């Protein structure tokens, strides 16, 4: 165990504050904060330590986040850590999905295997640990649904009051019901995610509540472990590409920071390229990328991938840095592309929520455009579980008329063996 302190530093004006300062943004200029850890040079020793911890069955080492604690929050001690545990998600290969995307060596890092069914648990364990360390009374977030479900679960575990702001009528059923079940006070705001975030930011400042959105830098430290874990699963032999869906851009920023740190420490010897994928109807970052990031863009968002229905991403500057430093790309895909990719992922037995499928749809599009080559090694991150959005599944398989090409409509029959025979013969 180590007690090395990290520090928080403003990304805009470089003002530094203590690791335990509760400010959610720079007290001087309002810029977003970044966690800077003490410098290390012990890559080989760390690789061994990470591997040794893989076998842990209890305590913080059993977590796929805290196993990398030296790179996440080195000063946290076991008794402070709020862990489910989380992480330890699989890296899956499915020929059918790889074939559909046109990339032979496609792997899917399935973050839907986390305790509340999305990657958010990785950031939440760290942000909730930090909230408890600084003595927060209550925690809050704005959310399209997954962050709220995760915050609700971890607040319940930590014994803290939780308040969530979600866009009324725009949250997938699985996520909303999780949030209620775990016991968070749930406010259905008549506005979109961007309006929810503005309200959550103002309310947390005015009412002295700790804000745990991904502008909170401790969230990003936890989310970095997605990258560390997938690199470790590849024995630190970095892939050519890592593709992920992008909304508020917290995860894109976390991936950039993880890769920067892994590379400068010597855990990997070359930098994978990031591919951030947005839904066409909510693609300000992709539009800005096409214009060389000359200006910040905001849009009125619309997509059936409600997780990434975000028009004014908060983590803009740090995500630009992530794309630039990894020689990355940003693209957008249509809702039809997303649902098609999702149907392929689902029917391969893997399954994911709509936003997650954008990462595979984006790979297919970049492959068609010649940006990704068929021989490239690609990891697509599936950010959320299939059951998060049952409404999207019911619409796709049962309600849409005409049915989409990959719809698997249920067949109602009389309770007779002859009916079953007709189904098997393909005449029903």
Are the C-beta atoms of 50 and 42 separated by less than 8 Å?
A: no
CA neighbor of 280 nearest in space, from 255, 248, 305, 261:
305
Q: Closest distance between ligand F0G and the C-beta of residue 251, in Å?
A: 4
Of residues 238 and 249, the one with the C-beta less far from ligand F0G? 249
CA 323 vs CA 77, 242, 274, 332: distances in Å = 33, 11, 6, 15
Of residues 268 and 381, the one with the C-beta less far from ligand F0G? 381
The pair of structure tokens assigned to 420 is 């079953």
Are the C-beta atoms of 151 and 188 separated by less than 8 Å?
A: no
Of residues 53 and 309, the one with the C-beta less far from ligand F0G? 309
Q: Closest distance between ligand F0G and the C-beta of residue 250, in Å?
A: 3
> Rounded CA gap, 249 and 233, in Å?
25
Task: Name which position in 81, 308, 338, 350 contacts ligand F0G (CB under 6 A).
Answer: 308
307 is a site residue for ligand F0G (CB under 6 A): yes
Candidate segments 5-13, 38-46, 56-64, 240-248, binder of ligand F0G by CB under 6 A: 240-248
Task: Name which position in 83, 118, 125, 179 contacts ligand F0G (CB under 6 A).
Answer: 118
> Rounded CA gap, 281 and 167, in Å?
17
Would you list the DSSP string of 308-337?
G--SS-TTHHHHHHHHHHTT-EEEEE-HHH
Task: Name which position in 246, 322, 378, 386 contacts ligand F0G (CB under 6 A).
Answer: 246
The pair of structure tokens assigned to 217 is 């830098």
The three-point CA angle 9-231-119 to 5° equals 65
192 is a site residue for ligand F0G (CB under 6 A): no
115 is a site residue for ligand F0G (CB under 6 A): no
Candidate segments 23-31, 98-106, 139-147, 256-264, binder of ligand F0G by CB under 6 A: 139-147
Candidate segments 25-33, 101-109, 241-249, 411-419, binder of ligand F0G by CB under 6 A: 241-249
346 is a site residue for ligand F0G (CB under 6 A): no
**Contacts with ligand F0G, residue ranges (CB under 6 A):** 118, 120, 143-147, 214, 245-252, 307-308, 353, 355-356, 383-384
């Amino acid at each position: 165990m180590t007690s090395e302190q990290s520090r928080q530093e403003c990304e805009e004006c470089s003002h530094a504050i203590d690791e335990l300062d509760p400010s959610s943004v720079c007290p001087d200029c309002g810029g977003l904060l970044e966690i800077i850890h003490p410098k290390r040079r012990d890559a080989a020793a760390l690789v061994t330590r990470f591997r040794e911890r893989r076998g842990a069955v209890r305590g913080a080492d059993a977590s796929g986040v805290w196993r990398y604690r030296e790179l996440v929050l080195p000063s946290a001690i076991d008794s402070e850590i709020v862990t489910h545990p989380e992480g330890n998600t699989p890296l899956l290969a499915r020929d059918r999905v790889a074939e559909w995307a046109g990339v032979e060596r496609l792997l899917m890092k399935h973050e839907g295997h986390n305790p509340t069914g999305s990657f958010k648990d990785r950031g939440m364990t760290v942000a909730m640990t930090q909230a408890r360390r600084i003595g927060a009374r209550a925690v809050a977030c704005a959310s399209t649904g997954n962050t709220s479900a995760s915050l609700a679960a971890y607040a319940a575990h930590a014994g803290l009051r939780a308040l969530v702001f979600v866009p009324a009528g725009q949250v997938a059923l699985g996520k909303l019901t999780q949030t209620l079940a775990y016991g968070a006070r749930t406010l259905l705001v008549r506005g979109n995610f961007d309006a929810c975030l503005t309200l959550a930011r103002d309310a947390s400042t005015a009412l002295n509540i700790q804000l745990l959105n991904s502008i909170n830098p401790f969230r990003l430290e936890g989310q970095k472990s997605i990258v560390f874990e997938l690199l470790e699963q590849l024995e630190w032999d970095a892939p050519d590409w890592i593709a992920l869906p992008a909304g508020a851009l917290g995860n894109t920023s976390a991936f950039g920071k993880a890769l920067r740190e892994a590379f400068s420490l010597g855990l990997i010897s070359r930098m994978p390229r990031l591919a951030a994928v947005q839904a066409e109807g909510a693609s300000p970052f992709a539009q800005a990328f096409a214009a060389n990031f000359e200006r910040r863009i905001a849009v009125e968002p619309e997509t059936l991938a409600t997780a990434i229905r975000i028009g004014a991403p908060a983590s803009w500057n740090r995500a630009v840095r992530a794309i630039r430093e990894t020689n990355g790309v940003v693209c957008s895909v249509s809702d039809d592309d997303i649902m098609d990719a999702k149907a392929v992922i689902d029917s391969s037995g893997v399954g994911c929520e709509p936003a997650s499928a954008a990462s595979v749809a984006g790979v297919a599009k970049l492959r068609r455009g010649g940006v990704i080559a068929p021989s490239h090694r690609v990891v697509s991150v599936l950010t959320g579980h299939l059951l998060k959005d049952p409404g999207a599944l019911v619409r796709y398989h049962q309600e849409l008329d005409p049915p989409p090409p990959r719809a698997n409509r249920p067949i109602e029959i009389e309770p007779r063996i002859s009916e079953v025979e007709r189904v098997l013969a393909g005449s029903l």
